[in-house]
Amino acid sequence: MISKIKPHHKEKMAYVYLRQSTMGQVLHHQESTERQYALAERAESYGWMPENIRILDGDLGISGSRMTNRQDFKTLVADVSLNKVGAIFALEASRLSRSSSDWNRLFELCSLTDTLIIDEDGFYDPGQFNDQLLLGLKGMMCEAELQNSGREALGPI
């Protein structure tokens, strides 16, 4: 898996994207926050220089269902589109966005700019068909989870 990381990826920035859906999660699940910050060390262990690792933590406590209020997600998408990013590190790739349109836009841009997605499950190259399938499944599961959690909040039908 680590063989997917090429020298040209490490010449660009590694972005560590942190997100938890609510401030309650941020306050009461600090272990998750710490695990997300530790992804910067993981990027360094894979060969990125510390000065080439950028932590995006401004979206902590903001729902991933829309890009609207997530300034760091907007920064991430913009910088990927400008070919500045070699890899995006996230605890779980599906946590990058809960909106299928935002999710698909980001991964299409990653495919076009040869940007890797790295999470606890593995290394993904959105330009490779098998990785596209896996990321697509992760995105669909994430959206289904969001839809189901919305139904549960409404109570039984």
- Tens of pLDDT, residue by residue over 1-24, are 678 999 999 999 999 998 776 666
- Tens of pLDDT, residue by residue over 80-103, are 999 999 999 998 888 788 777 888
Backbone angles phi, psi at 127, to 5 degrees: -85, -10
Interatomic CA distance for residues 36 and 129, integer angstroms: 27
Of 146, 153, 148, 154, nearest to 65 (Cα)?
146
- Tens of pLDDT, residue by residue over 24-78, are 665 666 777 888 999 999 999 999 999 999 999 888 877 656 556 789 999 999 9
Structure tokens at 23: 């401030």
Tokens 């994430």 — which residue? Answer: 142
User: Concatenated DSSP letters for the chain?
Assistant: -GGG--HHHHTSEEEEE---SSHHHHHH-HHHHHHHHTHHHHHHHTT--GGGEEEE-TTTTS-SS-STT-HHHHHHHHHHHTT-EEEEE-SSGGGG-S-HHHHHHHHHHHHHHT-EEEETTEEE-TTSHHHHHHHHHHHHHHHHHHHHHHHHHH---
> Is the model's pLDDT at 146 over the cut of 80?
no
Confidence of residue 145 (pLDDT cuts 50, 70, 90): low
Domain hosting 139: range is 2-154
Q: For residues 67 and 121, which has the higher predicted lDDT (pLDDT)?
A: 121
pLDDT at 157 (0 to 100): 37
Q: What is the CATH number of the domain that holds 85?
A: 3.40.50.1390
Provide the number of structural domains found in the chain.
1
> Is the model's pLDDT at 153 over the cut of 50?
no
Q: Are 149 and 142 in contact (CB under 8 A)?
A: no
Rounded to an integer, the average pLDDT of 118-141 is: 89
> Is the model's pLDDT at 147 over the cut of 70?
no
What residues act catalytically? 21
